[in-house]
Structure 1
């Protein structure tokens, strides 16, 4: 596999040539002040795929996720979603386009109950299908069903992550952006979270863009993956190709993630 990766980026069987990118990032540059964080990123997420972005801490993964959502804004390049240019769109308008984000650090509302947090997620579509969606996320996350009246801040880290994902799902997104869902969680909880992401994709056909430091789990789950190093995409390929690539193994998989 070439490190440029462009020639193999679309070869996985799940990503047929007929698929149109649901999300397309082209030449995106993002700055913090005068410091360039993203150096011209090109990336596609096709409808019905799980695509993961891996890389070391500080590589720019979360910056890309936040740039897609309009904060910070891309200074150069374009971001399109379902054929619509969203590069300059305000964050609250992007959220109404059936894109939901579960940000890094599980930013739930700690003083609100689990139920109220889920209401906040559903408010994006005017609580139109609230009861039905509540039942759905309680089936996906039985732990949350037991804690509906508990304040978010009193939940364990794993439960807070489940709540962050469930809150995002309440808006019925076509595209789910997940930023470091496994961060700081026990291995058993990480397995549960990744299993739920897989179910959402396979059973509901949900498109998922996953930013993740746990390269082993992320690449096993993903149809396709990208590797980011200091603000540049350096490799891309199917999840399996990247898992088996010696450079990826040496940089991100040594130390036996299982």
Structure 2
């Protein structure tokens, strides 16, 4: 059964790549207004879960419900229209387009009537993006590209923002800025965020609740504070990891 009041509920999900099972029966809930994080080593299946929720690949077993609606077999473009936006691992902005054009692409999902108002909010949240609006995406630094990727997802006016490894390969100062922006969006707009992240210390500090994934299985869950204090989590993911 999905948890009462869950905006997103994943139950018994199994995902395969060919004959290799990547997710082995995953249960996750994300409630309205929460920041939920999933931590785990590289290759644990975190990104696969993100992609499965978004419909590529589709779950072979189990169910994914969003706002009480079964989206398990729905194609990605339909899922994006329901108010779920994803900032995928590796940023994947359009390198030949300007930052402004990248943001227009994000806004196209929600319709362009709120574009100016939303652009203003994005520029306040990420001043660096404002400075780079006329620059091509491919010429930006990694941190700037990550900010643009999150900004593009936000331009779709999502109810649920899914972020896959937003801190990957970035300098600690930029990581801090990005996590502060996520916290601010949640605090000021009540935006629900599901965050997959290898940087366990930052992610658990930020999150209301967290899950630990090992080899396609959820091995632990609890509040961000509980997981930060858990000796097993500390030994596996936090020793020497306080950036």
TM over 0.5: yes
Matched ranges for 1:138-177 at <5 A: 138-177=123-162
What corresponds to 1:225 in structure 2?
A: 210
1:113 aligned to which of 85, 95, 98 = 98
SS in 2 for 1:125: coil
Q: Distance in 2 between matches of 1:47 and 1:146?
A: 33
Q: How does 1:116-135 map to 2 (within 5 A)?
A: 116-135=101-120
Q: 2:199 touches 2:241 (CA, 8 Å); kept in 1?
A: no
Deviation, 1:126, is: 1.7
Give TM-score, length-normalised by structure 2. Answer: 0.98
- Indicate whether 1:183 and 2:183 are aligned: no
Shift of 1:135: 0.6
What is residue 191 of structure 2 aligned with on the other side? 206
1:7 — aligned with what?
A: none
- Once residues 42 and 191 of structure 1 are traced to their aligned partners in structure 2, the CA distance between those partners, rounded to angstroms, is 29
SS of aligned partner of 1:74 = coil
What is the alpha-carbon distance in structure 2 between the residues aligned to residue 256 and residue 51 of structure 1?
20
**Separation (CA, whole Å) in 2 of partners of 1:133 and 1:62:** 28
Q: CA deviation at 1:128?
A: 2.0
Rate the CA distance shift 1:27–1:224 in 2: closer, same or farther, 3 A.
same
Question: Would you say how many aligned residue pairs link Structure 1 and Structure 2?
Answer: 241
> For residues 23-61 of structure 1, what are the alpha-carbon distances to aligned partners after superposition, in whole Å with 9 as ceiling and x for unaligned?
000000000000000000001000000000000000000
Let me know the Cα RMSD of the aligned residues: 0.9
**Aligned counterpart, 1:242:** 227
Asked whether the equivalents of residues 37 and 194 of structure 2 are also in contact (C-alpha less than 8 Å), the reply is: yes
After the TM superposition, which segments of 4 or more aligned residues of structure 1 sit over 6 Å from their partners?
none
Counterpart selection for 1:85 from 32, 49, 70: 70
The Cα shift of 1:125 comes to: 1.2
Match of 2:10 in 1: 25
Tell me the TM-score normalised to structure 1 length. Answer: 0.92
**Structure 1: where are the runs of 5+ without partners?**
1-16
Q: What secondary structure is seen at the aligned counterpart in 2 of 1:220?
A: helix
Aligned-partner Cα distance in 1 for 2:110–2:40? 34
**Which of 79, 82, 89 is the matching residue for 1:94?**
79
* 5+ long unaligned stretches in structure 2: none
